[in-house]
Amino acid sequence: MLFDKFKTMADFLAELESKDVKPFGAVTEKLLSSTQGIVNGQNVILAGTNNYLGLSYDARCIAASQEAAAKWGTGTTGSRVANGSFVGHQELESELAAFYGVDQAIAFTTGYAATMGMCATIAGPGDVILLDADSHASIYAGVQLSGADIIRFKHSDPDDLAKRLRRLGDRAKQTLIIAEGIYSMLGDIAPLQEIAAIKREHGAYLFVDEAHSMGVLGETGRGAAQAAGIEDDVDFLAGTFSKSLGATGGYCVSKHQILETIRFTIRSYIFTASTSPSVVASTRKALQIMRKEPQLRSKLWENANRLYTGLKVLGLPVGPTASPVVAVNLEDRNQAINCWNELMGAGVYVNLVVPPASPSTAFLLRNSVSAAHSTAQIDTIIAAYSNLVNAGLISTNKE
């Protein structure tokens, strides 16, 4: 039957419903700040929003957005290729290019459309894509549309990447390597220096998705490639407006002039309505703020280190390094569901991540930290986990 393939998901959702757990259908009824809200009727700390710099609720971004809506209307009602661009779209792209020190930038309506569209378009039939095994769903969706031969390398494993490039022989020069800056589920940072060195050795191309690292890493917040000192090796760099910049949308920048030609071949750019003026305006304002206020990044890392260390000291199985994504890795599904529910009850709203969204068979309680979290909020999150440990509801490394 047509719908048989949905049975596993239907059973899982029914199980959650029977336990009165709503990790995937949580509704925010009121926002009290960028880090506090009323969710499912409860006043909770928002600890799973990816709002790394807290700019979604910044008064200056809201004002810019309001002004643009009044001046330009609520939507563009069409594609930039068909309807044309608003001047704000072009200014946003110029400002992104200037931020990265390159000539070329494309703004997309969503981050998913940016990475999916670029990964579907840059390489094609006869080419090879070598992607990190833990790549985001948008990357997998894109490469499947590309027509290129798709080969995975082990997650963040430069030796495996090098081995697979060697096996390709001359085809290595027709190969696009895809990696991310910070990986969204576990918060680990890609070994971009090693990856870039291998790319250079084999004459391949490199695409880096900085969705979770833009505004987070690098001297000026350009991301993991800047932090690793390998920006010259990156052929295409994608990112999103929906995390550090607190809006919706995505982008790709490149040092290659060809990006302007590629723009007119990307289906997720051509066949969708362009970014709304209010979103363009708040994104531009957020980019300005991010550039002028590096203290936001300092505060973000202060909070990230505090939460990571706090959970690690409790003996919880967190990721390999501190980052603004702090994931608690659990093998037991019921334990993960129960803990998510207990955290909600304690006023802490985190993400429950289940396979295949998690990179293995594990279940994750995924926390994301914001510069806007107060120290007291971070300590409340740690205390909520501590209560889970003391109640024997969660396994620790100490057991």
Among candidate residues 112, 72, 77, 100, the one with its CA nearest the CA of residue 88: 72
Residues 299-328 binding other proteins (CB under 8 A) are none
Q: Please choose, out of 62-70, 162-170, 279-287, 299-307, the segment that lies near other proteins by the rule CB under 8 A.
A: 162-170
Nearer to other proteins by Cβ, of 356 and 392: the residue is 356
Q: Please choose, out of 43-51, 83-91, 160-168, 337-345, the segment that lies near other proteins by the rule CB under 8 A.
A: 160-168
Nearer to other proteins by Cβ, of 22 and 171: the residue is 171
Cα maximum dimension of the chain: 61
150 binds other proteins (CB under 8 A): yes
Query: In sequence order, what E strands does the chain have?
Result: 28-31, 36-39, 42-46, 104-108, 128-132, 149-153, 175-180, 205-209, 236-240, 250-254, 325-330, 348-349, 351-353, 363-368
261 binds other proteins (CB under 8 A): no
Among candidate residues 286, 285, 324, the one with its CA nearest the CA of residue 306: 324
- DSSP string for residues in 139-163: HHHHHHHH-SEEEEE-TT-HHHHHH
Bridge partners (DSSP) of residue 330 are 363
151 binds other proteins (CB under 8 A): yes
168 binds other proteins (CB under 8 A): yes
Collect all residues with Cβ–Cβ distance below 8 Å to 170 and sequence separation of at least 6.
none
Nearer to other proteins by Cβ, of 60 and 167: the residue is 167
CB 48 within 8 A of CB 349: yes
173 binds other proteins (CB under 8 A): no
Nearer to other proteins by Cβ, of 150 and 270: the residue is 150
Nearer to other proteins by Cβ, of 165 and 307: the residue is 165
Neighbour count for residue 70 (Cβ, 10 Å): 11
127 binds other proteins (CB under 8 A): no
361 binds other proteins (CB under 8 A): yes
Q: Please choose, out of 63-71, 295-303, 331-339, 356-364, the segment that lies near other proteins by the rule CB under 8 A.
A: 356-364
Q: Which residues bind other proteins (CB under 8 A)?
A: 128, 133, 149-152, 164, 167-168, 356, 360-361
